[in-house]
Structure 1
Amino acid sequence: MKSAKTRQIISRCALMHNLNDLTCDVIIEHSKPRLVEKGEYFFHQGEDATTMYILLSGRAKLAQVTQAGNQVIVNYCRAGDGLGIIVALSHTVYPLSAEAVTACQALSWQREIIEQLMLAHPQLAVNGMGMIANRFVKLQDRFQDISTRRVEQRIARALLRLVRQFGKKVAEGVLIDMPLSRQDLAEMTGTNLYNVSRILSEWERAEWVCSQRQRIILCKAHELVVLAEDLD
């Protein structure tokens, strides 16, 4: 990608907030390109955290395996999102895995490089801490959802989050523009495939959603908002 286009994309990342174009260019110059094919991994949970990334294109999935062996999908990422920011703030292991849901292009920085850049540009370090704090708050919100909300609400809220990230207007409504299976939804919402299939089938009969193989369209998003927020 051309530098101007690359800068435009990575400037969306919270790590780059309040940095001028010259500083962004310096940070880009210290990066290396990375191409990750669909189904391949940027990194695996438990590996030494040595490299962080910012997506330039494609979709990636962040997931964690529990001690019981169950997979939990923590988030999905798109162009402009950062992966592995823990690298810059702690010498530790990756707490989760990052898998390419589609073919992805990214820029990567080794831990030593990003540490040097943060020392030279303190705003970069401040932004990194802000990203970690923001993700911590989101994880708390997800934990609260699972602890206090009905499964129908959790699924509705998950779909609405994905629409905000990946929504694309189509004739039938709003398409979640990325591969998304019912098993994925189960792993996002702390439930099982049976419950997701049952609930989506009910919503299809009510014409709230249109569900095909790894493709979900919200036809009546307002109904899902009412359910998600427990409105009258």
Structure 2
Amino acid sequence: MAERSGPWPKRSLIGTLTEQEREELLKLGTKVEFPHKAALVRQGDPDNGALYILLDGYTKVTVDTADGNQTVLAIRSRGDLVGEFALLDGGPRTATVTAINTVVAIRIGRSAVNAYLADHPDAHAKVTASLLAKMRTSTERRVEARAWGARERIARLLCELVEQYGEPGDDGVVIALPLSQFELGGLAGAGEATTERVLNEFRHAGMIRTSWRRITVLDAAKLRGLWRGY
């Protein structure tokens, strides 16, 4: 697979590093490739002393709950770190990270990461900020699950996905993520049947168009209005 080139997403950890910080970090590891549905890390496994920097492709972060269900927590893509929690604290993996198409990544071992962070205090601060942002997002999701209905949560999620992964289409913005309705609902904290009902409502209202694992947002302003209350 030919990996993507061009600017790194500004929202990603790698996108926040300076060119020198980025080059020095990336050359510490080994390039690896994961096919669709392969797990980069698995929940509960002991730390194997490595993290991954995604160069291309998408992954989903999931956790298995006590009742045997699976919840989708986040999507990670180009420029994001995967597996840094266990690497930094030495504990078991807290989630499973699975490729949702072919993923190319750089695998870096713990000793190399620790040495790099010790030598680059500014980059260390950016890694810390990235971890805190992930924790903040997780907290916000839990608050929204209690305060908002599924309709509002799914509308906000679609707007976020447009901002992060949207690509111009003929008559709207295509969310370039191969997500199922179950996975989309998991990100919004909604069940699959509820997600299907809400998406159907949005389709009839002319806000989105859907096909297999593909959503085109036709009217982002209307979607924003649903969760912003106007």
TM superposition score normalised by structure 2:
0.90
Report the CA distance between 1:25 and its aligned residue.
Answer: 2.7
Report the CA distance between 1:119 and its aligned residue.
Answer: 1.8
SS in structure 2 at match of 1:56: strand
Identity of aligned residues (%): 22
Q: 1:89 to 1:124 in 2, by over 3 A?
A: farther
Q: 1:24 to 1:223 in 2, by over 3 A?
A: closer
* Deviations 1:64-107 (CA, angstroms, capped at 9, x unpaired): 11222221111112211111121442111121111111101111
Residue matched to 1:27:
25
CA distance in 2, matches of 1:126, 1:103: 30
Amino acid aligned to 1:168? E
TM superposition score normalised by structure 1:
0.90
Contact kept in structure 2, 1:145 and 1:154, CA below 8 Å: yes
CA distance in 2, matches of 1:78, 1:158: 16
Amino acid aligned to 2:103? C
Amino acid aligned to 1:34? V
Q: 1:220 to 1:25 in 2, by over 3 A?
A: closer
Residue matched to 1:194:
193
Aligned length: 227
Residue matched to 1:103:
102
Amino acid aligned to 2:222? E
Q: Please, which moves more after superposition, 208-217 or 63-72? A: 63-72
* Deviations 1:31-89 (CA, angstroms, capped at 9, x unpaired): 11110111101101111232111111111111111222221111112211111121442
Amino acid aligned to 2:50? T
Q: CA RMSD in A?
A: 2.2
Structure 1 unaligned spans of 5+: none
Structure 2 unaligned spans of 5+: none
CA distance in 1, matches of 2:19, 2:150: 44
Which of 37, 43, 46 is the matching residue for 2:44?
A: 46
